[in-house]
């Protein structure tokens, strides 16, 4: 029995030594010292021993158990320390690695211009409204006093989807939608995309952006139009800019006018930016035609108003002296990073 005990001890110490992880050690502990373990099996045979031998063997068995237990505990400590060391090594942060750079985006020049426009008009009490790009001809033309046969409706210049549905050629359609929905007083702007069947070149694109404006109230005159749009130009370009109004024709306004800005590059003398004119065309405008009010069920005897349409590309190109419209759409970072 003495020999059996020393064999068990030797074997146990060997196996513990070879163990490479904590689970193996735990399993060993059960196998060696557990209820069905080898050592217990031997202790069960103690009954067969004589009265003198029993305490001697008992003591020996306890020594073996203690020795194995201690060895297991020591081994576990050792393995735990090793695991921690490995984990720490794996988790080391190399502080000498270069940092990851976050690319910061910028506003597109068209959005800068649009944000400025919105700020200016909101400051004057206007709200910003939206309208559909796929539109009905009645809103884009008919109700804007633009009858069948008018050159603006020419299929050569317009993307028709059906006879009565098209991609809007102007944001002026939102005037009608607004007047049908809201009773005066009205003061809105409506920026958005418009479509015309134009070939792409330095000053044309089949998709571009406008911002419509509409004011309807009692006693609105051409004077309000002039004052408002001049104020707008000064806010946008600085208080010393000069504007002029030139007579024009639009079917939905009477009288109609285009507003020009004195060229801020040459001060009106004539240069490449203003093509020698001294003035740069900025927007179309006019006093809302009585027929348009009637079409929207607004009494022209009671109410009057003015409207305007601004080309956003034109404003951006003037402001940043961009000579080719295509640059605005090509998403070339070398261009966009400049704003």
Rule CB under 6 A: is residue 309 a binding residue for ligand DAH? Answer: yes
33, 40 Cβ separation under 8 angstroms: yes
Rule CB under 6 A: is residue 109 a binding residue for ligand DAH? Answer: no
Rule CB under 6 A: is residue 184 a binding residue for ligand DAH? Answer: no
Q: Is the N-terminal amide bond of 255 cis, ω within 30° of 0?
A: yes
Q: Extract the tokens encoding 15.
A: 């196996």
Q: Is the N-terminal amide bond of 185 cis, ω within 30° of 0?
A: yes
195, 157 Cβ separation under 8 angstroms: no
For ligand DAH, which residue of 308, 317, 325, 328 counts as binding (CB under 6 A)? 308
Alpha carbons within 13 A on the beta-carbon side of 14: 6
Output 109 or 251, the one with its CB closest to ligand DAH: 251
For ligand DAH, which residue of 145, 172, 228, 304 counts as binding (CB under 6 A)? 172
Q: Which stretch binds ligand DAH (CB under 6 A): 104-112, 131-139, 282-290, 324-332?
A: 282-290
Output 126 or 250, the one with its CB closest to ligand DAH: 250
Rule CB under 6 A: is residue 212 a binding residue for ligand DAH? Answer: yes
Q: How far is it, in rounded angstroms, from Cα 285 to Cα 309?
A: 6
Report the nearest approach of ligand DAH to the CB of residue 199 (Å): 18
CB atoms near residue 255 (< 10 Å) = 15
Q: How far is it, in rounded angstroms, from Cα 179 to Cα 190?
A: 13
Output 40 or 197, the one with its CB closest to ligand DAH: 197
Q: Which stretch binds ligand DAH (CB under 6 A): 110-118, 119-127, 268-276, 279-287?
A: 279-287
Q: Extract the tokens encoding 302.
A: 């009671």
Rule CB under 6 A: is residue 307 a binding residue for ligand DAH? Answer: yes
Site track 220-259 with ligand DAH (rule: CB under 6 A), x = hit: ------------------------------x--x------
Output 253 or 295, the one with its CB closest to ligand DAH: 253
Residue of 167, 186, 165 lying closest to 175 (CA atoms): 186
> Number of residues in contact with ligand DAH, rule: CB under 6 A?
11
Helices marked H in the chain: 2-18, 22-33, 38-44, 53-90, 109-123, 137-140, 173-181, 222-237, 290-295, 312-320, 333-336
Report the nearest approach of ligand DAH to the CB of residue 191 (Å): 13
Rule CB under 6 A: is residue 192 a binding residue for ligand DAH? Answer: no
For ligand DAH, which residue of 215, 284, 305, 313 counts as binding (CB under 6 A)? 284
Output 32 or 113, the one with its CB closest to ligand DAH: 113
Report the nearest approach of ligand DAH to the CB of residue 254 (Å): 10
Output 76 or 118, the one with its CB closest to ligand DAH: 118
Q: How far is it, in rounded angstroms, from Cα 144 to Cα 72?
A: 94
Sign of CA dihedral 163, 169, 173, 174: positive
262, 269 Cβ separation under 8 angstroms: no
Q: Using CB under 6 A, list all residues that contact ligand DAH.
A: 170, 172, 212, 250, 253, 284-286, 307-309
């Amino acid at each position: 029995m003495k020999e059996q005990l020393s064999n068990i001890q030797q074997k146990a110490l060997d196996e513990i030594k070879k163990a490479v992880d904590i689970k193996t050690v735990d399993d060993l502990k059960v196998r060696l010292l557990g209820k069905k373990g080898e050592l217990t099996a031997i202790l069960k045979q103690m009954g067969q021993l004589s009265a003198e031998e029993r305490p001697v063997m008992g003591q020996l068995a306890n020594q073996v158990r203690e020795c194995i237990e201690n060895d297991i505990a020591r081994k576990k400590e050792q393995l735990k320390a090793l695991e921690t060391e490995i984990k720490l090594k794996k988790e080391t942060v190399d502080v000498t690695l270069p940092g990851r750079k976050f690319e910061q985006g910028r506003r597109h020049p068209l959005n800068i211009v649009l944000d400025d426009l919105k700020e200016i008009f909101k400051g004057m009490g206007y709200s910003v409204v939206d309208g559909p790009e796929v539109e009905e001809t009645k809103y884009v033309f008919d109700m804007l006093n633009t009858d069948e046969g008018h050159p603006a409706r020419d299929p050569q210049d317009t993307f028709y989807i059906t006879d009565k549905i098209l991609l809007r050629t102007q944001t002026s359609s939102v005037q009608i939608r607004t007047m049908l929905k809201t009773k005066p007083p009205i003061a809105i702007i409506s920026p958005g995309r418009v479509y015309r069947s134009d070939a792409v070149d330095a000053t044309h694109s089949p998709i571009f952006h406008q911002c419509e404006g509409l004011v309807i109230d009692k006693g609105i005159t051409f004077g309000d139009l002039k004052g408002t749009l001049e104020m707008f130009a000064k806010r946008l370009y600085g208080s010393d800019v000069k504007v002029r109004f030139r007579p024009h024709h639009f079917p939905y306004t009477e009288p109609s006018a285009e507003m020009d800005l004195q060229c801020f590059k040459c001060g009106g003398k004539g240069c490449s930016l203003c093509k020698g004119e001294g003035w740069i065309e900025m927007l179309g405008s006019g006093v809302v035609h009585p027929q348009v009010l009637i079409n929207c069920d607004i009494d022209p005897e009671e109410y009057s108003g003015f409207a305007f349409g601004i080309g956003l590309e034109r404003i951006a190109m003037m402001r940043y002296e961009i000579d080719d419209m295509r640059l605005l759409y090509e998403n070339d970072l070398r261009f966009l990073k400049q704003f």
